[in-house]
Amino acid sequence: MDTVLLIHVGATWSLVGLIWFVQVVHYPLFASVGATEFAAYEARHTRRTAWVVAAFMPVEALTAGWLLADSPKGVADGIIAVGLVLVALVWLSTALWQAPLHGRLSDGYSAPLQRRLVQSNWLRTGLWTTRGVLVLVMAGQALV
């Protein structure tokens, strides 16, 4: 299998696993932190999560672009293009909704903001899950 595609599959599935953990475990637990400790908790969460996300999101985006520019043999260009659009939508969702909500939560806990974070994050969860399926299809096409 093409090395870039293999790296892409690894980065994408790392993010799929991460987003599901965040969506069903981590973000819902924000409500259990406590109002007095929440601002400090949110600051630690943001700082530590950034390291994990920064390790995979740029790799995913760069390899998605690379695959479009130099498609592996057997992999349909259309599916690569759809995958790249989904990457852009994840980044857009992060910039427009999740990052600003984290910014507002850094001032202190708000149940409505926390609920909005969980609700809006379903978009990223769906986008990354769809990407996960797409990259497996790409890998399957490359193996045939």
Mean local confidence (pLDDT), 49-76: 97
Question: Which percentage of the chain shows pLDDT scores above 90?
Answer: 99
Write down the pLDDT at residue 119. 98
Mean local confidence (pLDDT), 63-80: 98
Q: Are 122 and 103 spatial neighbours (Cβ–Cβ below 8 Å)?
A: no
Domain residue limits, the chain: 3-143
Per-residue pLDDT at 60 exceeds 90:
yes
The model carries a pTM of 0.95
Mean local confidence (pLDDT), 26-52: 95
**What separation in angstroms does the CA of 31 have from each of 38, 57, 111, 121, 124?**
9, 27, 7, 16, 20
pLDDT in tens, 42-53: 999 999 999 999
CA distance 107 to 98: 15
Mean local confidence (pLDDT), 28-40: 95
Q: Are 77 and 10 spatial neighbours (Cβ–Cβ below 8 Å)?
A: no
Q: Place 1 in a pLDDT band, splitting at 50, 70 and 90.
A: confident
